[in-house]
Chain A
């Protein structure tokens, strides 16, 4: 049996990468793990349900989109700007950690995880949500509802949802311009 492959390149965490010769039909999650050694996105359900495998696709207009990598082929990401969980914190030129992203920092402060398996997905989901708030702020009264709607699809088997919600609420309220009224 021969495996059909096709070349593609992409931008991953701000760096151009590729071209890679990748089997047609290989899922993005396998590509991240096996070709790039980026293992932060988790294989959870393998069916697109739990969202532990999500990454961010940065659109040209600056908007962000969550994509599930366990059910999306690697080739779909050709020529796209992709941010994985490894791309959220700031590092200096030597690769040393300078600062966590506000979402990551808030998750730690609120101890918003237990086993941590779903956390990369929640960081991704919360980051996309906060970017969406920057474009379309919500009222304080609607904030919790908006957080729940945005993160509802992410599953945490330790049921740490309340802490996730509190952490995201904290970031939204502390960041100017995201919440109005």
Chain B
């Protein structure tokens, strides 16, 4: 009798568990932040009025960069995203009726942007930052929708994602959302200034900074406890952009705002994905929005009138043998462009003696640049940096470890603790 009760109990728990899992799978527990009134379509006049604002919001949200493949048709998708689960391709968001969003309603668009649910009811993959856009105001979502509908339709078919099972099942994202999709719309903090709140809205909602700069958990959801503390994306580090992290890198509120506007500074140049962000987004942002972002990231209620550069980190000693080997490598392969004393050449090569990549705790970005180089980059205002060659085939792991240790200790105040094995892992 007792055995039977236990078995029945186990069966009941199993059935309940299955029912809950099925409920999650079919979206019963999916919460929505989409406003009820979006069922009413926008009038033609409203669409026309909202479109110019949408152009700006879409720029701040950097929609174009992800939804346009390199050399591809504008807004037609195709940009690949390497994830630990496989490759995802951005979709066509031009107003093409067959392949794009030409047949989408206002409500469809809101659900995609804020709940991560596409027109057919299928889940979107969270490479589309709906976890951040969830905080976007309903008016801003409307504005982007109105703007996208003014773009030229592009008849470009969407590429099929290349994902491993079970990630290829879109429904499985219902479980992901249950764990990783939190909160409702943006709620201003009435104890803080309008500038701070505007900055937080841009950082968290529109510009979705946390998507790259916040570390992710095993399921690739953002770890709320490590908000903006830096993460590795496609082999390079999106650094810690908390107030502490920014200060350690040598930023001050005004220099950070200027860096986002121009992409270059004495602290280095934007590279990798952040270069694209400057190229398509931040350079076009209004000055007041850039300073608001900077104020929020530095946790300030108003921007200071001046921002003196913080002192350079104190150099750290390195063993003489390492210094000798590294100095020879530096003189032979780096000094031609970066200067004998790391001073750089204006409009050609960034200075190293004040460079962020030498100050951050991880040597990943420095080693990545040494191994693979950096392509030529055009920045706003006719500024340009010449290409940096990669040295993966000229320098062995020991030589790179010595070089990185010496430069980081000399100019970044970092302990020379990199080994050849560390470099081998980063190759």
Contact = CB atoms under 8 A, between A and B. Distances in A.
A76 B328 CA distance: 8
Interface in B302-327: 327
A73 B340 CA distance: 11
B336 A75 contact: no
Is the contact region of chain A dominated by helix, strand, or loop, or is it mixed? loop
A6 B277 CA distance: 45
Contacts of A47: 337, 345, 348-349, 386
Interface of B: 327-328, 331-333, 335-337, 340, 345, 348-349, 386-387, 389
Interface of A: 24-25, 27, 47-49, 70-73, 75-76
A37 B332 CA distance: 21
Given A25-B331, A47-B345, A47-B349, 20 more contacts: A24-B328, A25-B335, A25-B340, A27-B336, A47-B337, A47-B348, A48-B337, A70-B336, A71-B336, A71-B337, A72-B332, A72-B333, A73-B331, A73-B332, A73-B333, A73-B335, A73-B336, A75-B331, A75-B332, A76-B332
Nearest to B331: A25
Contacts of B345: 47
A27 B333 CA distance: 10
A24 B329 CA distance: 11
The 3 closest A-B pairs by CB, nearest first: A71-B336, A73-B332, A76-B332
B321 to A, nearest CB: 16
A155 to B, nearest CB: 12
A25 B328 CA distance: 8
17 contacts: A25-B335, A47-B337, A47-B349, A48-B336, A48-B386, A48-B389, A49-B386, A71-B336, A72-B332, A72-B333, A72-B336, A73-B331, A73-B332, A73-B333, A75-B328, A75-B331, A76-B332
B387 to A, nearest CB: 8
A68 to B, nearest CB: 8
Contacts of B327: 24
Contacts of A49: 386-387
Contacts of B335: 25, 73
A105 B327 CA distance: 42
B175 to A, nearest CB: 47
Contacts, number: 34
B342 to A, nearest CB: 12
A72 B331 CA distance: 8
B316 to A, nearest CB: 23
Contacts of B328: 24, 75
Nearest to B335: A25
A24 B386 contact: no
A75 B330 CA distance: 11
Contacts of B387: 49
Contacts of A48: 336-337, 386, 389
Contacts of B332: 72-73, 75-76
A71 B334 CA distance: 8
Interface centre among B328, B331, B349, B387 (most CB of A within 10 A): B331
B39 to A, nearest CB: 55
Nearest to B329: A76
A75 B336 CA distance: 13
Nearest to B337: A71
Nearest to B339: A25
Contacts of A27: 336
A24 B341 CA distance: 13
B395 to A, nearest CB: 11
Interface centre among B327, B328, B345, B389 (most CB of A within 10 A): B328
A72 B336 CA distance: 6
A26 to B, nearest CB: 9
A24 B331 CA distance: 7
Contacts of B348: 47
